[in-house]
Structure 1
């Protein structure tokens, strides 16, 4: 796969760095979107999370609106809207409005997870029963609303999602397992595999998606990208600190406690037991970290394993300048 065929994209979670307000975290997301646009990145997706002080992105549809107005060429989207938290009609109207405002530049990435704990999810949508069939019905309803294609006798036939739009946002399903990939294949949507959530079985899940893909009015052929934690620096000390912080952060997440902003100095003296070290070794598969020459080899191997040409980088750092520099170094590798 030649460098010229590689596409780079960003999945940004609006991380709140230690000592920084949520407002500043959102402004950093805005600044990063402008930089990614200028560097030639393909997409910039923002996430939906709730009940955490470590991430500031709770309403991707609102943030996308602002980002699209601040950029010129890059595609803006959700990575993703957590569909069980919302009504299909409201999601359709949100993204129809975005498509009217910024035609051809909007991605609608959808997830099945709540983006939070179960208690918060039950408050976001008290009727959520966590049933697979409910999610499938929501996907079907959403597609019908976006295409004005409700079947005769159904409620979707009687309701129009407004505003009416000449184009439809590109629809993607976020997946960290084979199950969501099957849903994406069935509905003819794109598939974004979250390697940063599950580093095992991704290439196999993507191949099953390709094999079972059913062409749709939205996509005539399979479309896949892979998202993974990425950090690039020319400074070995910064790389060491970043790795240590991410090791701790993933353990923090797995232990079920609330995520909170941390810095290297907070965790540099932490000693891990054997079980924790085993989890650290596993979690390091969820991210690619290194100097440009080392990292490029890792990325090339990952993309070859998945047989995809689009990498979606998730980068959270202690300093905002380090985050920017990492994306700049990636662009220098592939977007010359």
Structure 2
């Protein structure tokens, strides 16, 4: 991989900052998509989460239609559609419609987790059995729908995903372990490793994916990237406060307390147990924060470790301007506008 020319992309979860409404959070996602489009980022993905008060992104297929109309060059996609919540046919129709609206600019990133708790997942899809085989069958079905083919003797042979369009979305599997990498290799799809979820084992999973990759009608060679929490600032105190907030959020989530919007002032005096400090040390590997020169060095190391030439940055800040500025500084460091 050529890490001398690293491409940057965005995964945005529409975070709801303290004192901000869900409507405002969505408007911030739209503003960020426009901003990173102008900066020269490669792709802008939005996520699917349910039953949470801290993230407003629940329906990427709806949000993407609007984002495509508000941007010009950046690829627009899901990071991802959580397949257990949907039928393969409905996903195929959603993303064929997006291809009709923005041909050649759509990414379909898919995950096999529900993006929520089990009870909510059962409400989203009452027939969900959380079986790995169901996910594999959905991937087969999606390929058939996108290429207007079916297996002889099956009902799917008679079903078409509407609208029938000439282009196919670029398909990616999202993974925080090695298993989905094997699925991506088998189906000839791209692989995006979620280092922001699991900071260990990623390079090995990507290497295994490349080794097992089977070319498909849509992708002749393996294509992988890595996603990580990133915060870039010229203000070292903001960097320190950002890390403290991320420490707190990870700790609350792991304790089952959910993720409610908080500010630095809310958590600055929190004291952690020895066990919590061990988890904080572990979780800090999920985040790269620093000044512009520090960030470039750390992200380049990450790309070299994974042997990829694309990094997806997820940035959640207390102040929206800091979020915009972080992506601007990254773009400058990697020469996206050169």
TM range (shorter): over 0.9
Deviation for aligned residue 1:181:
0.3
| Aligned equivalents of 2:315, 2:146: Cα separation in 1 | 32
- The equivalent of 2:145 in structure 1 is 145
Partner of 2:187: 187
Matched residues in 2 for 1:34 and 1:2: separation? 27
Q: CA deviation at 1:294?
A: 1.2
Question: Cα deviations across residues 266-286 of structure 1 (Å, max 9, x unaligned)?
Answer: 100000010000000000000
What is the aligned partner in structure 2 of residue 230 from structure 1? Answer: 230
How far residue 8 of structure 1 moved from its aligned partner, in angstroms, is 0.3
Aligned counterparts of 1:153 and 1:186: Cα–Cα separation in 2: 24
- 2:8 is paired with a residue of what secondary structure? strand
Partner of 1:133: 133
Per-residue CA deviation, residues 3-43 of structure 1 (Å, 9 max, x unaligned), is 76210000000000000000000000000000000000000
Q: Does 1:42 align with 2:42?
A: yes
1:50-73 alpha-carbon deviations (Å, 9 max, x no partner): 000100000000000000000000
How well do the aligned residues superpose, as a CA RMSD in angstroms? 0.9
What is the SS of the residue equivalent to 2:299?
helix
Q: Which residue of 1 aligns with 2:285?
A: 285
Offset at residue 257 of structure 1 (A): 2.0
Cross-structure match for 1:99: 99
Q: Give the Cα separation in 1 of the matches to 2:151 and 2:312.
A: 36
Give per-residue Cα distances to partners, 1:290-326, cap 9 Å, x unaligned: 0011111111100000000000000000000000000
Tell me the distance in 2 between the aligned counterparts of 1:325 and 1:282.
27
2: CA distance, partners of 1:10 / 1:177: 21
3-state secondary structure, aligned to 1:80: strand
Q: Could you report, residue by residue, the CA deviation over 1:117-157 in whole angstroms, capped at 9, with x for unpaired residues?
A: 01000100011111111110011111111111211111220
Q: What is the count of residue pairs matched by the alignment?
A: 336
Report the equivalent of 1:121: 121
Taking the TM superposition and a 5 Å limit, the aligned residue runs for 1:162-181 are: 162-181=162-181
Offset of 1:2 from its aligned partner?
6.5
The 1:290–1:281 alpha-carbon spacing in structure 2 relative to 1, beyond 3 Å, is: same
Residues 189, 2 of structure 1: alpha-carbon distance in 2 compared, 3 angstrom cutoff: closer
Instruction: State the match for 1:262 in structure 2.
Output: 262
SS at match of 1:266: helix
Conserved 8 A contact 2:171-2:189: yes
CA contact (8 A) 2:3 2:308 kept: no
Counterpart secondary structure, 2:44:
strand
Q: 1:20 to 1:32 in 2, by over 3 A?
A: same
Measure the CA separation in 2 of the matches of 1:10 and 1:149: 33
Partner Cα distance (1:57, 1:32) in 2:
14
* Unaligned residue ranges in structure 1 (runs of 5+): none
User: Contact conserved, 2:2 with 2:309, CA < 8 A, in 1?
Assistant: no
Q: Which residue of 1 aligns with 2:214?
A: 214
Q: In structure 1, what is the equivalent of residue 310 of structure 2?
A: 310
Distance, in Å, in 2 between the alignment partners of 1:3 and 1:305 is 10
TM-score, normalisation: structure 2:
0.98
Give a deviation string over 1:65-116, Cα, whole Å, max 9, x none.
0000000000000000000100000000000000011000000000001100
Inter-partner Cα distance in structure 1 for 2:95 and 2:154: 22
TM-score, with structure 1 as normaliser: 0.99
In 2, Cα distance between the equivalents of 1:292 and 1:301?
14
Aligned twin of 1:32: 32
